[in-house]
Amino acid sequence: MKRPSTTQRCSGYVLFEAILALAVFALAVMGLARALTTAIETAGILNKETEIRTGLRSFVEEIRRKPIAEMAASVPDERLGVTFNSTLDPLTIKDRNGTVLTDIYNLHASASYDIGSETREESVDVYVYKPATK
């Protein structure tokens, strides 16, 4: 029986090494693709949250300029898929001399939205001074 030459034995190992290297490379590329997909999804969520916070700031600025009777409101924003809500509570605050300050309110504004199957809420409280008109 004739023994295979050294070049014949090495060529089998080279083919095996090439297939193994391609398999490792393919796994690495798949891992990077999965990481890239997750990063893109996370960036999308962060962009949406930034837009919602900007919308909430705009909502607060718009609501606080209205008369007291119109400050409690609920406004849906279909573009963002969010609902902005506001409530107004009168505050009783005393100054250093014990004098009760009037016409000060706590404006509570919130934004409710869904990301995937999770419902999230952002909120802000602002003290508003609205003197009674005479």
Residue 1: inside a domain, yes or no? no
Of 44, 52, 107, the C-alpha closest to 82 is: 52
Count structural domains, the chain.
1
Q: What is the pLDDT of residue 11?
A: 62
In a domain, 134, yes or no: no
Higher pLDDT, 94 or 34: 34
The answer as to whether 72 is a domain residue is: yes
Tens-digit pLDDT profile for residues 88-111: 999 988 889 989 888 899 999 999
Q: Is residue 39 part of a domain?
A: yes
For residue 15, being part of any structural domain is answered with yes
Domain span holding position 69: 6-129
- Cβ atoms of 119 and 113 within 8 Å: the answer is yes
Task: Flag whether 37 is in a domain.
Answer: yes
- 106 phi/psi in degrees, rounded to 5: -100, 115
Task: Say how far apart CA 47 and CA 75 lie, in whole Å.
Answer: 21
The pTM (predicted TM-score) of the whole model is 0.71
Question: Considering the chain, what percentage of its residues have pLDDT values greater than 90?
Answer: 67
Spatial strand order of the sheet with 73-77 comes to 73-77, 82-90, 104-115, 118-129
Average pLDDT over residues 66-87: 93
pLDDT at 134 over 60: no
- Between 71 and 10, the higher pLDDT residue: 71
